[in-house]
Every structure is written in structure tokens, then in C-alpha cells.
Structure 1
């Protein structure tokens, strides 16, 4: 790899059919397979899905293989997790129906599946139909006993906070936060590289195989942060061209929103790769040895050793780095 020059990696998504999915990801120009497609794993290195590079000298190679070849030079000193995988998982989600009410554990939960991590994540709302909502936390005063009783009595909805959403809203969801995306939203999700989800409630809905999906009541009750985990939401209307607006700052990622209007110079710093998600508009990413086109829905991994590059055009982007 020493003779291969770093460049922005553009990935072909790994699509996932979900009972709550739809066809909204087609709007980004992807070749979406048939079915109810709920998730596009845009940048992924996980046993349940690996994304493959679509451009340049590494086209066709999976992120897992590239990490083995390139190492810290491309991915930065911070670019590995405790289990040796890429530290983040980047998704686009099409919520054509309500997702299950769920919660994620942290890294220290003693009943994590072998080799898995906890999951802290954030959402950026790309699109929301009028009246769209999400579940975001428990109502004040709900503790484990009250929630368990509500579940037993079929009235869990009494314990859930429902909030309205619009395009441009951002939600930080630390492990331990009860949450659910609801019908009518399309979101970009930045998260720890984990596929561990505990379901509290699933509307008595069968899965794609016609069977009822498993609930994880005991694990959910164990990992919920009843006094709050530090979840926060914000409108990002204050974002200005040429300035980064921080949306989430966690132990696992820092994510900013930026508005590109013309040419905007950037630099990598060696200790972390940079993830760029194009939320809307179009343009390009330019660096010393080339240029790659960028449009809404595209996700790029900028190697830590790329150095100077620029975002060009008219587009809204998210930038994520390791803290």
C-alpha cells in the first residue's frame, strides 16, 4: 500500500430489507434492490454487512480488506475499536413505517453478544413528511418499576415521549436512551459500529418472515438510563456557509454540519479519518491528485493522511471524525 496514494473513498451501499422500510432511498439514485428497503449501510465493516469501494484504485474492495492493507496511515491512530473493527457505522434509513421502540446497551453491559459493542448514535433528518414524529426518551418520572408495569399492562405508550421532527433536525442518542424513528422520515445515522438493539415494543407486528419479531424486555430494562443518558436535540437552521456547526460530540464521534457555497478548503490531521455525508445539493471533493463528484446521499471516507482537500459546489454536508 505504500505506493498507493490516498484518495476519498466512495462506497457502494449494502442495502437491508426491513419490515418498516420502503423505496425512499431510490431518490438518491442508488440501485436499490426490490423489497421494503429500510437501511443503506453506506460505510460498514461489520459481520452483518461490509460496504465496498466504488471508485479509484481500490474499487471493488471491502472496507475490511482496505483496513488490513492501509492500516493507521489511512485510518489514523484512533481508527480501530477494541474489537479491531472500523469504529463507526454510517447508514441512511427510510422509515416508511414505525420502527420498534428500542434501546441500545453501552460497551460495558455484561450480556452483550460476543464480539459486539454498545451503540451510541445520532440522527440527522434528511426528510420528514408533515406531522412526522419520533419517540425520544421516557416521560418524566418513569423508572424501571413503572416501565415494567406499563409493559405488562399493554400501555407502554404512556411512558414514551413523542416529539415532532422536520428536515434539518439532529438528535443525539447515547446508549441507554429509549427511542424509535416513526413513519415518514428519512435520516442519516452515525453510530458506533454495532448491530445490537433491544426491542421494548413492536406493535404486535410480524416480521418479513411472517413471524412475530423477538422482544428483549429484560435486557432493555437492564440497560435503560432512567435518569437520562445525555440525549440532546437541536435544530440546525443556524448553520452558515463556510462554518461548521457541531451537532453531536460524543466519546465515539464528533459530527458537524456544514453548508458548502463555492470552494471550502479542508485538511485532515492524521489521527482520524473524516466521514463526509452529502445531505442535499451537489458538488465535488477535490484534492491534489484528483476530483470526485458528490451528490445527495453520497458518503465518503477521507483518509487521515490525505492532507489538504476542498469541498466544492452547493451542498449541505455532515462531517464526522473520531474525538
Structure 2
């Protein structure tokens, strides 16, 4: 008898990071004894870090196994034709107690050539930010490779970077090649292509407990940096209640802002799975045969085969994602 698909939750994959803190535990209720929890991978098909189902009859099955079993029923016909048994998105929560390294990601062509990987286009939604916390995105002046390298070698890179103070709800679209970093005091949700390829170009002269600095990728980064990218990384969006408000739409994913205070009937016409990331409050997601509660800090994957379902909440804020 074939298992009927239903909305899927996964066990978070928690990552101890030199810059991590405790907000994923205190604000998003991730149970862990790790001292510096920097990331919670909510849905992942990265090699070595594939998500495991935490609810229902498919509990303990891996995302990779689900894809090979349910194929287009899980992710949609066009997505399965394009990606096969590889889930195209990686969903994370990130807590930066300290500044992350200054970094960027290669495009699909470079990533495939060098790492047999997708590129890493991503977006950020700020869930909480301490006073005066910031994100670093792009340069604060017209940039050339020579000027960049001069500042890099003089250890004055921060003088040419753009710092933005942020608050809850601020949203950024980070295209491949764009230099960026998450600043200390920021908790955010990240939606990205399935890739763990990062080129680190500066790490604040930081060392680990043994006095070792993390590897920098100066040579790999130089021809991956976009030195003349448009100033279009800040995302403006509406917040109309009970309506999917467009935030980011790119070839790799679409993300909408969804504030719910009633029962919504969702019709999935996208030939894609739907992901809902709860960034505030709690909601119920219900199909004809299954229902689950989604609370702040949780993520659910609604398979493509489930074309109609309901979302009910008194006051919840969700990010709605599909490909």
C-alpha cells in the first residue's frame, strides 16, 4: 500500500559555530547542549547533512529517501525533471553572537566547475536584532579588483564595506558574487540554493581555542566577486494580512510574506512543493487527512501532490517558499 504524503517536519540539524550563540535555544526553542549554536538547518539535502522526518508515518525517513521514493509527487514535475533526486533548497535559522566572516558565494557555473555543486543565491529575513546590530552587504563605494585587493592586503577591508543597521522584518536578497556578512546580534531565517560553498575573504583576525585562524579563500574569491553590482539587495514588500505578499522571486526560489489571522484555503498551482517557515506566532496546517501545529522557529514542507490545504492562525507570520 502506497504511503499518502502529508505535511512534513524534520529534525533540525544544529551547527556549533565559533560565532554562534544561544538564541536558537532561547528564542526558537531548539534543544541542544552545544555551547555556540550558530545554525539550525531546517530542511537540507546537503551531502552528509540530509534532513530526517520527525512526524507522521514517514518519521525517521531521510529527505533523500523521500525524493527517490515519491519523486515529482514531493517536489513537482518540473522540479523533478530539473533536479532529480536532489532537493533544490536549504532552509536555515542563523544566530550570530559574533560577526560572521566577510564572504561571498560562487555562481552556478563556477560552483559546478570547482566543487560539483550548485551556486548559492540566498535571502535573509531578520527575525530579531539587538540594538545597533547590522548586516554587511556590498561595498560603500565604486569598487575595482585592484582597490579591493589593496584594502584586503592592508587589513582595511571594513573601510570599504557597506554596513546596514537592521530590525525585525528587514529582508535582503544576496545574489551570487555579492560580498556580505551577518553582524553580531542578528537572528535570521535564510533561504538558499542547496549548497555549502562559501568563499571567506576576511575573518576579523579571529582564531579558535588552539590559536588557529580559519582558512581564507582569497584566490578563489577574486574572480567570483561582483565588483559592480546594482544596489538592489534591500527587499521592499507589503504586509497585507491573509495574502501572499511577494518578497523575492528569482530563478531559484520565490518567497512571500504571509500574515495569518483566520483560516486560509491554499491552492497550490505552482507545480512545486511549498515550504512554510514560522517566524512569529503559531499556526495549524491541515489537509483532508492530516494536521499539524507550526510554531515560531519551525518549518514545514508541504509536498507538491497536496494541491489544497488550509492554514489557520490567530496571529502568525510565515514565510511561504516554493520553486
Which residue is equivalent to 1:63? 63
Does residue 43 in structure 1 map to residue 43 in structure 2?
Answer: yes
Which residue is equivalent to 1:122? 123
SS state of the match for residue 158, structure 1?
helix
Deviation of residue 48 (structure 1)?
3.7
SS state of the match for residue 136, structure 2?
strand
Task: Please tell me whether the aligned partners of residues 177 and 231 of structure 1 are also in contact (alpha carbons under 8 angstroms).
Answer: no
1:1-323 residue pairs with structure 2 within 5 A?
A: 3-26=2-25, 27-80=27-80, 82=83, 84-109=85-110, 112-207=113-208, 210-228=211-229, 231-236=232-237, 238-269=238-269, 271-313=271-313, 314-322=315-323
Structure 2 unaligned spans of 5+: none
1:120-155 CA-partner distances (Å, limit 9, x unpaired) = 000000001111101011122111110011111111
1:58-87 CA-partner distances (Å, limit 9, x unpaired) = 111111111111111221123345584210
Q: How many residues align?
A: 320
- Partners of 1:120 and 1:231 in 2: CA distance: 14
Task: Please tell me whether the aligned partners of residues 83 and 115 of structure 1 are also in contact (alpha carbons under 8 angstroms).
Answer: no
- TM-score, length of structure 2 as denominator length: 0.94
- TM-score, length of structure 1 as denominator length: 0.94
Deviation of residue 51 (structure 1)?
1.3
**Structure 1, 186-195 or 262-271: larger mean CA deviation:** 262-271
SS state of the match for residue 234, structure 2?
strand
Q: 1:312 to 1:210 in 2, by over 3 A?
A: farther
**Greater share of residues in strand:** 1
**Structure 1, 91-100 or 238-247: larger mean CA deviation:** 238-247
Provide the aligned C-alpha RMSD in A: 1.7
